[in-house]
Amino acid sequence: MLHTKSLTLAVAGALALSGTLAHAMGGNSKADDAAVNERIKPVAHVEVAGAAPQAGAAGNRSGEEIVKTFCNACHGTGPGTASPPNVPKIGDKAGWAPRIGVGLDNLVKSAKAGKNAMPPKGASDATDEELARAIAFMANQSGANFKAPAAGEKIQGSERSGEEIAKTVCLKCHQTGEKGAPKVSDKAAWAQRGSKGLDALTASVIHGHGKMPARGGMADLTDAEVKNAIAYLFKQVGSDIK
Ligand code: HEC
Ligand code: HEC
């Protein structure tokens, strides 16, 4: 039962893909796309409806399952996978790094909407949570450390809060002034740093600054998380940063 289902989904995915790819390459008309969609619709519909509504059912599939069924066709590296322009392949750290930097929530939004040769939802029927799991599954093999939402869990919370990060790493130096770090009790020092603006400070922390290691020494922090942590430090200082 399970076997039949995933096989059929894979076929439907491949069909959907051939239509989308051809379209992306400009070799197919909208009418042809519609015809392809029309042809595959009944197949996908009947099979999904016939599947057991338990674990692995639509809405509750694992990241790995979604990736195998839909995303591998472009993001995979094996034989028979497509390579549309810009596609970040699984394991390509350089290709994924700038995308990982925007955070999982933003990647879900982007994947949902589609981007250039990437079709909306990667031509899948994945829910937001399934997309998040699929993205985490791919990105985590490519340098990220995303926490994928568990079954039934919403996407929120995948980004660590500034407070959590600061307590884990930043305050080690910024509480005590270790290595000459500006202390959170030193309002004047932070006011002076703050005059650079949040974006400049974020870049400074990402790259490392003086005796401060890159990303404060916490290599898996996303850029957004670095920003959150800086904002949290400024809150402790009692000043604001924009
Ligand atoms: C038809 C090929 C194709 C399929 C199928 C596909 N992708 Fe993509 N994907 C791309 C391409 C091409 C890009 C690069 C888009 C760009 O930056 O121009 C991309 C980019 C992305 C990005 C980065 C978006 C960003 O804002 O930088 C994510 C996340 C992503 N894909 C997730 C997925 C997921 C999840 C699936 C499966 C559900 C999937 N993709 C299926 C082609 C595909
Ligand atoms: C190993 C100690 C250490 C850790 C951990 C650390 N910092 Fe720093 N930080 C420093 C030092 C030292 C400086 C001053 C560097 C200088 O100006 O030469 C600094 C400076 C800064 C600045 C000002 C940068 C500038 O351009 O003026 C910011 C913002 C900052 N840290 C934020 C953070 C955040 C956020 C974290 C946690 C993710 C963090 N730091 C973790 C030691 C540390």
**Ligand 2: residue whose CA is nearest its atom 31:** 205
Cα–Cα–Cα angle for 117, 84, 65, nearest 5°?
85
Ligand 2 atom with minimal separation from the 233 CA: 35
Ligand in nearest proximity to the CA of 102: 1
**What pLDDT was estimated at residue 152?**
62
Q: What is the best residue among 9, 17, 74, 129 to mutate for testing ligand 1's pocket, by most ligand atoms within 8 Å of CB?
A: 74
Question: Are the CB atoms for 74 and 82 separated by under 8 Å?
Answer: yes
3-class DSSP state of 52: coil
How many angstroms separate the first and last alpha carbons of the chain? 55
**What pLDDT was estimated at residue 223?**
86
Report d(CA 146, CA 134) in Å as an integer: 11
Chain centroid to CA 88: 12
DSSP summary character for residue 143: T
209 φ, ψ (degrees, to nearest 5): -150, 120
Ligand 2 atom with minimal separation from the 221 CA: 38
Place of tokens 């450390």: 145
Give 118 Cα–ligand 1 centroid separation in angstroms.
5
CA dihedral 72→73→74→78, nearest 10 degrees, is 70
Report d(CA 94, CA 238) in Å as an integer: 38
Q: Where are the alpha helices (DSSP H) in the chain?
A: 2-24, 30-50, 63-66, 72-75, 93-100, 104-113, 128-139, 162-165, 171-174, 187-194, 198-207, 223-237
Cα–Cα–Cα angle for 125, 129, 133, nearest 5°?
95
Place of tokens 């839909």: 70
- Residues forming beta bridges with residue 152, ordered by sequence position: none
- Structural domains in the chain? 2-139 (1.10.760.10), 162-237 (1.10.760.10)
**What pLDDT was estimated at residue 221?**
85
CB atoms under 10 Å from CB of 220, counted, come to 13
Tens-place pLDDT, residues 123-173? 999 998 999 999 999 999 999 999 887 766 655 445 678 998 999 899 999
Q: What is the DSSP string of 106-125?
A: HHHHHHHH-BTTB-GGGGS-
Pocket lined around ligand 1, Cβ cut-off 6 Å: 17, 20-21, 66, 70-71, 73-75, 82, 84, 86-88, 99, 107, 110-111, 115-119, 121-124, 126, 131, 134-135
Along the 242 residues of the chain, how does pLDDT read in single tens digits?
A: 444 344 444 444 444 444 444 444 444 444 455 444 444 444 443 333 333 334 567 778 999 999 999 999 999 999 999 999 999 999 999 999 999 999 999 999 999 999 999 999 999 999 989 999 999 999 999 999 998 877 666 554 456 789 989 998 999 999 999 999 999 999 999 999 999 999 999 999 999 999 999 999 988 888 888 999 999 999 998 877 77
